[in-house]
Structure 1
Amino acid sequence: QMGFTGIAVGAAMVWLRPVCEFMTFNFSMQAIDQVINSAAKTCYMSAGSIAVPVVFRGPNGASAGVAAQHSQCFAAWYGHCPGLKVVSPWSSEDAKGLLKASIRDDNPVVMLENELLYGVPFEMSEQAQSKDFVVPIGKAKIEREGTHVTLVSHSRPVGHCLEAAAVLAKEGVECEVINLRTIRPMDIEAVEASVIKTNHLVTVEGGWPQFGVGAEICARIMEGPAFNYLDAPAVRVTGADVPMPYAKILEDNCIPQVKDIIFAVKKTLNI
């Protein structure tokens, strides 16, 4: 991992545009010095004279039955680091558009895919199927309009949010579902605009709670103009704060489920 990642970073420094694939992002730990210290920092340390247009891509987050060492989400890890851009697709449209945008970008981009989504079919518009289709990095997408509560998520949990929204709609609760698409730079303006409309916020992610993506969203909302529009504290739905167990029943209880999102929405709406 350290070897081929170093080769990719070196190739990017001489203006090739390599795509470096990790079989799983858990293995990127073996190469994190190349990703953080070589790729992310070189442009800054060279006063902008050396760009590193490399893409690191591969499966991220929990899969199924692969236990603690192969089941963690690295969105918060890489999203913490200045110099990197971090994208996290949910749909086929996201995956195609963000990969093209990442390859064309002159900065190192970490593309966090999800193994369990590889076999899931998605509708694709005519526009998305055109060869010129690109999803801009740093722009979230509203997957479902709503008025009562904002659900913000990325990667596979976006689908869970949409399922929860469909269930809650039958009870008269209209959820606005935001697909972040990009972790860094985060489109906090889209979240703020939604919270100003709905007055309630629930974040959903597969990663651990401490210092996570949801924690960052909550902090940014608290520091910004949307805070005064909240009618209740923001609620986070996250993975359990433990290494991933191997047993299926324990694994299911460690990963956010649709029922957990519904519970969080009802909690924040006090219903």
Structure 2
Amino acid sequence: MDIINTIDELDKRVVAAQEAGQKIAYVPTMGFLHQGHLSLLKEGRKRGDLLILSIFVNPTQFGEGEDFEDYPRDLQQDSAVAQAAGVDIIFAPTAKEMYPAGYATYVNVEGITETLCGASRPGHFQGVCTVVSKFFNLVQPQVAIFGNKDFQQLTVIKRMVKDLHIPVEIVGVPIFREEDGLAMSSRNLYLQPQQRKQALVLSRSLAQAQELVAQGETDSAVIIAQLKAEIERQPDARIDYIKVCHQLTLKDQEIVDADSVLFLAVYIGTTRLIDNAYLVSDHD
């Protein structure tokens, strides 16, 4: 496995792979790899001849007062994990390499970026789309793997790829959960022991909502009200949003149907956690 830090060196490896007829699979991450990331790498390893992992904490997707400076980083540990997962190349550029002096071009997807996380994190998805489009141009993958935990991000990336005719297949991988149900996230590290227990209210709320729907409840407002009451029982919890949205348009839905996804964003202390699930349990 090789670790590459410069665009020039990556370009040489990509050209060589193309000349050899290799299929490139790509997994973009911000590092501090956990089991959720490993599930993406496992899928990528199955789908490509050359597996490229990028590790880059992207400054343009963090807003003022967010945790860019504190976001956990450990390239040495990540390298060991990646090598064990069968990664061929880690691309770990600096911010200066990705955004040199005079950089002035950004990618913006409209509409579906203005709700959910986009409403409380202005500019976030512009940063995501910009850096992902840059990575697609650099890595030239035939397939790219993303996690379903960031459902809105996955939806936005699919829209960007379709609208800009980027020749890459986007694959979403199911949420990887810890044994107690908490969705894997690098930010789980921030939680104190009591907060870690309180954070389970997210996965419990998803299961509660699915049970309500299974019992015949289809009024989103009723479901949201019950979840709100449950989450607010946690002393360190502060709700960012609870929404039932269409899986493609991300528009709010008053009535639950097979396309309905429940989205949660909740602060536990100062740690912002997200989770989601289809409300119709037998959804494909």
Same fold per superposition (TM over 0.5): no
| Bigger proportion of residues as strand | 2
TM-score of the aligned structures, taking structure 1 as reference length: 0.30
TM-score of the aligned structures, taking structure 2 as reference length: 0.29
